[in-house]
Amino acid sequence: MRLVLPNPGLDLRIPNYEDLEKMEKEDGDRPKWDNKAQYILTCVGFCVGIGNVWRFPYLCQTHGGGAFLIPYIILLVLEGLPLLLLEFGIGQRLRKGSVGVWRAINPYLTGVGIASMLVSLLIGLYYNTLIAWIMWYLFNSFQGPLPWTQCPLNDNRTGFISECQQSSTVDYYFYRVTLNASASITDSGGLQWPIVICLLAAWTVICICYIRGISTSGKAVYVTALLPYVVLAIFLIRGLTLKGAMNGVKYLFTPDVDELMNPTTWLDAGAQVFYAFSLAWGGLISFSSYNPVHNNCMQDAVILTIITGLTSIYAATVTYTVIGFRATDKYDTCISENIRMLLNGFELPEDSITASNYNAALHHLNSSNPDTVFGLDIKTCDMQKLLSEGVEGTGLAFIVFTEAITKMPGSPAWSVLFFIMLLCLGLSTLFGNIEGVVVPLKDLNLFPKKWPQEALTGVTCLVSFIICLLFAQQSGLYWVTLFDNFAGSIPLLTIGLTEMIAVVYIYGIDRFNEDIKFMIGKKPCIFWQISLRFTSPLILLVILVFYLVTQAQQELTYLVWDPDYDEFPTLASVPYPSWINVVIFVLAGIPSLAVPVYALCRLVFVRCKKKMKPEKDINQI
């Protein structure tokens, strides 16, 4: 298949092989990695993020446990691996950041780079807010007992505040003390000062880590990329020794092969692979461009895929040992409570009903005195329900895990460890994110050329901090969820698809094969050929179409924390106000449309210039 779209002038825009060899020998002013380990750790840190801890385990458990690994691994290899090779290869070959690369391939494609930059910026904004929340919890973990173990007392000191009593101490701490969540996204309330200063801390930390570009962030990744693995190991050992841990692990990995027939399983697996690899953010292209020309990018792609896959499974196991422990603890408490009510209601001696004969005793009492039993309002204790509770996203980290930690002996230490791990996972992803924002801004000449790297980083962090104050309001949680749902999904898929088509059909897959041969020494084998040309673009297209279809069909609703809701503490599902459509368009539409809009503008600009040029020539005569 020799389908390549005409692309005049490509050779003039990109360095040829001799130039590359010359650049390799000279010490140019382009930043370089100190060693290969820094590069691999940076990429691993970028790909392994908070999503591996709080998204993958949930997907695994809801889509058939162990059986989910089958679509996940298949799509990891068919979709993730070729896209990784593409981004690594093109960055290493063209030695430019994301805007530079697409501009070099074809000036009309600069829109892809701009779209990547916009998406990285929008994602970076809400991601750093999550980091700010994690920092708040981290700062508050240095005390015993942890502040989320107790409810504050009400006015006459006979009980707890009703909001706390009805929900739970951890819910109250997250929604009221930390966020002071209002009841709707329109009700913005004031700024929450603790969150503002945590945001300040978060942006300052990012600023210092990235202040000289990869020369500082490359040193920081030694900690931020490796520490999570150490902490996960500690938690694994701790988790496996807790009571009920194996319940959780069994629940996670029990395979349900019927789920494989469900198309949403495959869609979710594909989407998770795509987002997990941080593809289309522009960061990976930038990082690869700092590599030596003959670096083996194919090997890197394979290594990164294996590491990400294994880390996801590892993190899922650890997460579910803790979830299993919490569910077992809650189940035991529920049973003890029921036993207590039965003993009190029937005035039976204390040891007559224990956990082991509870079911028999309940049955006996129910058959002899059904009315009394009914009057006691015994709750059914369901282990499966407890295991499936709130185990995704912020709910997992700030509610389920914090609750589980309070039940472990020595909870402040575990809390500190857990939040440091989440902090490191988030920071290492943000390095790639901010690389994907600052480098394109530099390439687009939006900053004066004289400014040093420190100034660029500083200005970007300052502006981002000011925009982030939106998330520090009382409705901040709802804005974060909005950004999470819309800024990071459709635009990324669109950009990823465009990237593949651009490299394979505009840059030319043959040229790409030759480049790989020049850089590594051998052409990519038949697997890469087929997947780059057909399978990966097709998979991306299918996922994109299904996403658009499901999003269009869904009602736009969101969950709010409303103490006045009837079924409080369940989150109320409330429709979005109508002006939210404008916001969604800004978040999802503008980055996606940047690609065609830029191409059109450039077309118009070039045509105008051509029209003006003949007139100028005539005037000169």
State the residues that interact with another protein by CB under 8 A. Answer: 136, 138-140, 142-143, 150, 152-153, 157-160, 194, 197-198, 200-201, 204-205, 207-208, 211-212, 216, 343-344, 347-351, 454
For another protein, the closer CB: 61 or 415: 415
Please, what is the minimum distance in Å from the beta carbon of residue 197 to another protein?
A: 7
For another protein, the closer CB: 20 or 468: 468
For another protein, the closer CB: 152 or 589: 152
Please, what is the minimum distance in Å from the beta carbon of residue 332 to another protein?
A: 14
Q: What is the CA radius of gyration of the chain?
A: 27
For another protein, the closer CB: 15 or 147: 147
Residue with tokens 């105008």: 608
> Is 52 annotated as ligand-binding?
yes
Chain-centroid distance of CA 167 in Å reads 28
For another protein, the closer CB: 154 or 570: 154
Return the H-helix or E-strand segment holding 10: helix 10-13
For another protein, the closer CB: 122 or 206: 206
The answer to whether 516 and 503 have CB atoms below 8 angstroms apart is: no
Per-residue exposure over 126-153, b if at least 16 CB sit within 10 Å of its own CB, e if not: bbbbbbbbbbbbbebbeeeebebbebee
Per-residue exposure over 592-620, b if at least 16 CB sit within 10 Å of its own CB, e if not: bbbbeebbeeeeeeeeeeeeeeeeeeeee
How many whole angstroms separate alpha carbon 201 and alpha carbon 128?
Answer: 10
For 487-544, the DSSP string reads TSSHHHHHHHHHHHHIIIIIIIHHHHHHHHHHHHSS---HHHHHIIIIIHHHHHHHHH
Please, what is the minimum distance in Å from the beta carbon of residue 418 to another protein?
A: 15
Please, what is the minimum distance in Å from the beta carbon of residue 132 to another protein?
A: 11
For another protein, the closer CB: 173 or 275: 173
* Phi then psi dihedrals of residue 28, to 5 deg: -70, 180
> Is 458 annotated as ligand-binding?
no
For another protein, the closer CB: 172 or 281: 172
CB proximity list for 224: less than 8 A, separation 6 or greater: 45, 209, 424, 425, 427, 428, 431
The answer to whether 180 and 563 have CB atoms below 8 angstroms apart is: no
Return the H-helix or E-strand segment holding 391: none
Q: How far is CA 350 from CA 339, 343, 480, in A?
A: 9, 7, 50
Please, what is the minimum distance in Å from the beta carbon of residue 198 to another protein?
A: 8
User: And the tokens for 502?
Assistant: 């651009």
Please, what is the minimum distance in Å from the beta carbon of residue 138 to another protein?
A: 8
> Is 603 annotated as ligand-binding?
no
How many C-beta neighbours within 10 Å does residue 370 have? 10
Please, what is the minimum distance in Å from the beta carbon of residue 417 to another protein?
A: 15
Q: What length is written for the chain?
A: 621
Q: How far is CA 390 from CA 203, 276, 302, 401, 437, in A?
A: 29, 21, 34, 10, 33
For another protein, the closer CB: 397 or 504: 397
The angle at the Cα of 16, spanning 14 to 17, to the nearest 5 degrees, equals: 140
> Is 16 annotated as ligand-binding?
no
Q: What is the DSSP letter of 29?
A: S
Please, what is the minimum distance in Å from the beta carbon of residue 149 to another protein?
A: 9
How many whole angstroms separate alpha carbon 533 and alpha carbon 536?
Answer: 7
Please, what is the minimum distance in Å from the beta carbon of residue 210 to another protein?
A: 11
Which residue ranges make up the annotated binding site for Na(+)? 45, 48, 52, 425
| Binding annotation | 45, 48, 52, 425
